């Protein structure tokens, strides 16, 4: 191996000798020895005798020198041939597009982002419309509806999410009870912890956290599934076979979400209350029957209605965003990954925005 390394050294060895205005080179004139050479515009004459190696990098150096009036001596015919090839294919820079000042570019990118956001909202509206049209079609022609697919997606997005949703909500109930107990004990108002848990879980947290978990689970799954079909042109194939992707792909998936998310929300409510009841029992000695009594007498049922009324809307938002992102996947794997993470972020963000809008709405109508 030592021999190989010595070979390598010799191969990368170039001797330069300045003789008046002439630069004499011998040895390996290649990309590896290019850094040794002076700027090609400063060399008047170059003599290349006994070169052991002459590659395109060397020819490129000489070609650049020639444009500054360098004269070259001592090349063999083969080296001259390479030099001619390189000279002929020297890239000619094209005038790039005028990018303008930093302010102009700033305004330009800002405008592009606004425009893109506008297009995104328009497309989301379009997909919502396509879903509704598909739904109406399924109601008018029930035989067009893919029941098997629908049941499968109910299982995927609903049933399989039950354990994680239950556990998460149960833990949130425990946290609320514990924190509430610590604060309310200062006023001797421990028993109000039941109201605190009931209202916050039933009205907000149960359904919001469920929707966020489902957004993370299902929006990414929707985008990945539809996106990989889009990538392999399966969706185009479907169209040519007379199958409507809206009916086959979007309707069963989104409808499954709309049906299962309220159920998941209800499960989350029950689990959250159970966690809260357990913790108040241990921490404050409020027995489960006392908890139940206060829950029924003091907490208005409107809280449950307000909470669960949001679920189908959240489901719609998550499903539409997931399907839209899947349809936007291009031909390369990279766009699939990018769209999947965008779908999750957008879905969670949209769920929280919708929740805020609901809060304002319900406050205005006095529920």
Partner 1 sequence: MSENLIEVRGLTTRFGSHTVHDGLDLDLRRGEILGVVGGSGTGKSVLLRAIVGLIRPAAGQIRVLGQDVSDLTPLAREALERRWGVMFQDGALFSALTVQENVEVPLQAVPDLDPRQRAGLAQLKVAMAGLPWHANDKYPAELSGGMKKRAGLARALALDPEIVFLDEPTAGLDPIGADAFDRLIVGLRDALNLSVFLVTHDLDTLHACCDRVAVLAEGKVLTSGTMAEMLDVDHPWVREYFHGPRARAASAGKG
Binding site for partner 1 (CB under 8 A): 1, 4-5, 8, 30-32, 34-35, 55-57, 60, 64, 78, 81-82, 85-86, 89-94, 330-332, 334-335
Nearer to partner 1, 233 or 332 (CB): 332
- Cβ nearer to partner 1, comparing 236 with 332: 332
Do the Cβ atoms of 136 and 192 come closer than 8 Å?
no
In sequence order, the β-bridge partners of residue 28 are 53
What is the nearest approach in angstroms of partner 1 to the Cβ of residue 81? 7
Smaller CB separation from partner 1, 93 or 285: 93
CB of 63 or CB of 215, closer to partner 1: 63
Smallest gap from Cβ 64 to partner 1, in A, equals: 8
For partner 1, which is the closer residue by CB, 78 or 241? 78
Which is closer to partner 1, CB of 8 or CB of 182? 8
User: Contact 315/261 with Cβ under 8 angstroms?
Assistant: yes
Q: How far is the CB of 137 from partner 1 (least distance, A)?
A: 36
d(CA 316, CA 138): 17
Residue 11 beta carbon to partner 1: minimum distance, rounded to whole angstroms: 9
CB of 319 to partner 1, least distance (A): 28
Count of residues in the chain: 367
Nearer to partner 1, 9 or 21 (CB): 9
d(CA 54, CA 59): 7
**Long-range contacts of 351-354, Cβ-Cβ distance < 8 Å, separation of 24 or more:** 351/208, 351/211, 351/212, 351/215, 351/314, 351/317, 351/318, 352/208, 352/212, 354/310, 354/313, 354/314, 354/317
Q: Which is nearer to partner 1, 288 or 330 (CB)?
A: 330
What does the DSSP 8-state code read for residue 36? G
Euclidean distance between CA atoms 225 and 134, whole angstroms: 19
Q: How far is the CB of 9 from partner 1 (least distance, A)?
A: 10
Residues near 140 by beta carbon (within 8 Å), at least 6 away in sequence = none
Q: How far is the CB of 322 from partner 1 (least distance, A)?
A: 23
Closest by Cα among 277, 271, 265 to 195: 277
Residue found under tokens 């957008």: 346
The CB-of-32 to partner 1 minimum distance in angstroms stands at 6
Burial of residue 338 (number of CB atoms within 10 Å: 0-12, 13-18, 19+): middle
Q: Can you tell me whether residue 117 is helix, strand or coil?
A: helix
């Amino acid at each position: 191996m030592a021999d190989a390394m010595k070979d390598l050294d010799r191969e990368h060895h170039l001797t330069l000798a300045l003789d008046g205005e002439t630069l004499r080179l011998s040895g390996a004139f290649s990309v590896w020895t290019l850094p040794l050479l002076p700027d090609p515009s400063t060399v008047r004459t170059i003599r290349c005798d006994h070169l052991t190696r002459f590659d395109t990098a060397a020819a490129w150096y000489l070609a650049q020198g020639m444009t500054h009036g360098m004269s070259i001596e001592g090349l063999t015919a083969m080296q001259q041939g390479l030099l001619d090839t390189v000279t002929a294919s020297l890239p000619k820079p094209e005038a790039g597009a005028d990018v303008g000042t930093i302010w102009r570019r700033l305004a330009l990118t800002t405008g592009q982002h606004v425009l893109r956001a506008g297009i995104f909202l328009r497309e989301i509206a379009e997909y919502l419309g396509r879903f509704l049209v598909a739904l109406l079609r399924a109601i008018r022609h029930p035989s067009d509806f893919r029941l098997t697919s629908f049941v499968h997606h109910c299982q995927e997005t609903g049933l399989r999410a039950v354990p994680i949703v239950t556990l998460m909500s149960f833990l949130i109930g425990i946290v609320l009870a514990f924190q509430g107990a610590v604060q309310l004990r200062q006023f001797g108002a421990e028993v109000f912890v039941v109201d605190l848990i009931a209202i916050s879980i039933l009205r907000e947290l149960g359904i919001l956290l469920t929707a966020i978990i489902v957004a993370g689970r299902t929006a990414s799954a929707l985008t990945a599934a539809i996106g990989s079909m889009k990538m392999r042109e399966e969706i185009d194939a479907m169209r040519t076979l007379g199958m409507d992707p809206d009916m086959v792909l979007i309707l069963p998936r989104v409808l499954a979400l709309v049906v299962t998310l309220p159920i998941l929300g209800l499960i989350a409510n029950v689990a959250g209350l159970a966690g809260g009841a357990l913790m108040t029992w241990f921490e404050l000695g409020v027995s489960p029957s006392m908890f139940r009594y206060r829950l029924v007498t003091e907490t208005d049922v409107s809280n449950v209605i307000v909470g669960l009324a949001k679920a189908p809307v959240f489901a719609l938002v998550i499903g539409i965003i997931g399907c839209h992102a899947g349809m936007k996947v291009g031909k390369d794997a990279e766009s699939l990954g990018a769209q999947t993470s965008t779908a999750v972020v957008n879905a969670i963000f949209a769920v929280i925005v919708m929740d805020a809008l609901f809060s304002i709405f319900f406050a205005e109508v006095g529920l």
